[in-house]
Amino acid sequence: MTKHIKPTDSELEILTVLWEKGACTVREVHEVLEQTKEVGYTTTLKLMQIMHDKGLLTRDASSKTHVYTAVVSQQKTQEQLLNKMIDTVFGGSASQLVMQALGNHSSSKEELDQIRNYLNNIEQQNK
């Protein structure tokens, strides 16, 4: 089993594009990234090549244009980043994270209902 590599912030932005759009060329990823920040095409290309070398992306070179796909799943990456944040920022306390998030974010009634249902399901499973 290979060790999961923690992506950098820039790599995470690229992964997010690939998770949302599926397999993409460098140009397609770059066009999405440049909508929200100044980034050069060659920077996007180099980052995606590095990510391929690290094992975060696969590359299909069968056509003239290389097509990249995320190797790591969105859920697994979010889980690992969240666990690291809980450990380092909240001293291992998930409840501190939740209280901080709910205290600093106005949640809709629907979001609060989803949270309640989730907590109820967890309680039922632990009985």
How confident is the model over 34-68, as pLDDT tens digits?
999 999 999 999 999 999 999 999 999 888 889 99
Residue that is written with structure tokens 């066009």 in the block: 31
Instruction: Count CA atoms closer than 13 A to 33's CA, side-chain side.
Output: 27
pLDDT surpassing 60 at residue 2: no
* Distance between first and last Cα of the chain: 34
| Of 30 and 7, the one with more pLDDT | 30
Question: pLDDT of 71-94, one tens digit each?
Answer: 988 998 988 889 888 998 888 888
| Nearest C-alpha neighbor of 28 from the set 12, 45, 8, 11 | 45
User: Which residues have CB under 8 Å from 24's CB, separation 6+?
Assistant: 17, 18, 67, 68
Closest CA to 85 of 16, 93, 103, 99: 93
pTM here is 0.73
Return mean pLDDT, the chain.
89
Tell me which of 6 and 54 has the higher pLDDT.
54
Unique residue bearing structure tokens 């990510």: 51
Q: Which pLDDT value is given to residue 3?
A: 56
CATH of 9-70, one of 1.10.10.10, 3.40.50.720, 1.10.150.20, 3.40.190.10: 1.10.10.10
Report percent pLDDT > 70 for the chain.
Answer: 97
Domain layout of the chain by residue ranges? 9-70, 74-125
Tell me, what DSSP letter sits at residue 24?
Answer: B
Q: Would you give the DSSP letter of residue 65?
A: S
Closest CA to 33 of 17, 21, 48: 17
CA distance 43 to 85: 28
